[in-house]
Amino acid sequence: MPEQSEQQGNSSLDANKYVIAAFLFFLSWGVLFALGSANQALSQAFSGTPILNIFLPIPQFHSPMYLLMPVVGFFFMFFLVDWVNRFFKSRHGFSPLLPLLFFALAFIAFYIALFWYIGNYTLLAGRTLTLDEASRMFVGRFKASAYYLFVLSGLLGWVSRFALEKIKL
């Protein structure tokens, strides 16, 4: 009998953490939605700020993909932290290197995909694609894509998982 009450205590603690995680998800999704909705005003206000100009403007949510990619990105990174901790048998998932690695790999993956995508079109048009051409198009297409929302929500998922770990219930 005491084991059952201990297990129920642990499951209610886990349930509380999942409720808080859902709240953090809706909060981060709301922040991304608000920033995407205020796209024009923010891009004019922060056009001269070098650090914020990297992340802003966020694309507007004008299709279902833009609405659903933050869900996938947030929970991918949220659960990746626990997987990394179990795999390495340590707390490497809470290291700031994980979101930096995630961002770098996502950036590289999008560059490779864009290079092959545009390369196919230029090959069909009978010309060649240079790295310089692909690099010029990269930032604009990256920041206008739903994949950018996936990456940003993944970073917010890591921040939420880190914050959830620091909350003492």
The helices-and-strands tally (H runs, E runs) of the chain is 7, 0
Share of residues in the chain with pLDDT > 90 (%): 9
Taking the CA atoms of 80, 19, 30 and 47 in sequence, report the sign of the dihedral they define.
Answer: negative
Cis peptide before 2 (omega within 30 of 0): no
Q: Of the candidates 75, 147, 77, 67, which has an alpha carbon nearest to the alpha carbon of residue 111? A: 147
pLDDT tens track for 114-140: 888 888 888 888 888 777 777 777 877
pLDDT tens string 72-90:
899 899 888 888 888 888 8
pTM tops 0.85, yes or no: no
The pLDDT, as a whole number, for residue 9 is: 38
What pLDDT is recorded for position 163? 85
